[in-house]
Amino acid sequence: MDISPADACQVERVVELLHQSRSLLFITGAGLSADSGLPTYRGVGGLYEDQHPEDNLPIEVLLSGAMMQRRPDLTWKYLLQIERAGRGARPNRGHEVIAAIEQHFERVWVLTQNVDGLHRKAGSRNVIDMHGDLRHLRCMHCSYQEEVETYDGFGLPPRCPDCQGVLRPDVVLFGERLPARQLTTYEAETARGFDLVLSIGTTSVFPYISAPVLDAHHLHKPSVEINPGETDVTEFVTVKLPLRAAVALDAIWQRYSKLK
């Protein structure tokens, strides 16, 4: 896809920043995985945009930790819909570029809100999947865990083969705390700081997602936002690229590779 001269100029600015950096933090949201055909819960093209699901409750209630405890069958009904909507999705060019960049810089981390596991499938190793992974299941009553490819054949709710307790995906449902392991890594790595922060495909509404960009601003370090729309951090970034994630990252990587 061709980009406008104005966007090409901004791409050049990002490439310059990359050449001046040794450590990078990529912050990614649903806008990155949208290029793999994955819908979001809400927003443009969202799975439940402008409507309540058929049970006449907000999706934030249906996909909450409280509902999983009280009515796991109801929560699983919508988890199955979400998994089915994204089944077969593969990493797109944006995921591939981020994984490739990791091989060429001293220190690179990915902080993602996405629960699709596509960063790791693309080859990224340093991933903080702050909201977990839909493919990783655990029992709510014992220590049983497993990785699955699809939710095909699951009951409502699926049961643990060891104790017959309810299985659940190892993700952060609405109203639940962030996982301790991911939070510890996040705090340690952000405390070290980064030469360049890139926010991609996220509206940055969560404080822990916007914080690295705001910290960079206050510390007079550069940051980049790749997002077609305006977000909570737009006014604080050094470079704004109003493009789809995969398009922008491909253009950046092609230009950076030519100038290496």
Which residues are known catalytic residues?
A: 131
Helix runs in the chain, H state only: 5-19, 30-33, 59-62, 65-70, 72-85, 93-102, 118-122, 180-192, 207-218, 245-259
Helix runs in 103-198, H state only: 118-122, 180-192
What the block records as the tokens of 132 is 């977990």
What does each C-alpha distance from 159 to 36, 69, 152, 239 come to in angstroms? 30, 14, 14, 48
Contact 61, 96 (CB under 8 A): no
